[in-house]
Homo-oligomer: A and B are copies of this chain.
Amino acid sequence: MKESPLEDGPSPDESRTLARLIVQVADRARDRFTTAIEPLGLPVPIARTVLLLTHPMPLREIADQLGCDPSYVTTLADRLEDRGLARRVTGEDRRVKLLEPTPAGLELQKRIAAAVGGSAAFARQLPAADRQVLSALLERLLED
């Protein structure tokens, strides 16, 4: 290797390979999620939102958690309401609207959680120690 000991950064090629790997694994995780909830007959964004809604939550916070635009959260909230899974309640600050899960929403949330955490659980092929290492490395990648 011609690299100096101080030049520890990844080569363009290594960097790309690693990024591709990560994306592949993430795609698989997503597929797993999609497959797990399929029997429930829910669109993925709906399921993701229901999963978030452990308590009444400002639409704005939902946008942050989902990493999407507030206007899209309006759409999502409408769809959850249409399905009877949540309802909007006005916050103390009257500009804010909280999305509050209905009993049906909470029940569904449990079913989704059971489905995605069930027999097809992610990373079940890694021993606990390795999962911990992986987790730590990923967190460092997020620090940036």
* Residue of A23, A27, A135 with most chain B CB atoms under a 10 A cut-off: A23
The answer to whether the Cβ of A39 comes within 8 Å of any Cβ in the partner chain is no
Contact A22 B19, beta carbon cutoff 8 Å = no
Per the bound structure, the CA–CA distance linking A30 and B67 in Å amounts to 13
Residues 96-141 of A at the B interface (beta carbon under 8 Å) = 113-114, 116-118, 121-128, 130-131, 133-135, 137-141
The answer to whether the Cβ of A143 comes within 8 Å of any Cβ in the partner chain is yes
Contacting residues, chain B, for A125 (C-beta < 8 A): 140-141, 143-144
Interface size class of A (residues with CB under 8 A): 35 or more
The answer to whether A121 and B21 touch (CB under 8 A), given A28-B141, A141-B126, A142-B28, is no
Per the bound structure, the CA–CA distance linking A94 and B17 in Å amounts to 33
Other-chain residue from B33, B118, B130, B143 in contact with A137 (beta carbon distance below 8 A): B130
Contact A126 B137, beta carbon cutoff 8 Å = yes
A16, closest chain B residue (CB): B117
Other-chain residue from B121, B126, B144 in contact with A140 (beta carbon distance below 8 A): B126
**A→B interface (CB under 8 Å):** 8-19, 21-30, 32-33, 67, 113-114, 116-118, 121-128, 130-131, 133-135, 137-144
What are the 8 closest A-B residue pairs judged by CB atoms, nearest first?
Answer: A12-B117, A26-B26, A15-B121, A19-B122, A19-B29, A21-B138, A15-B122, A134-B137
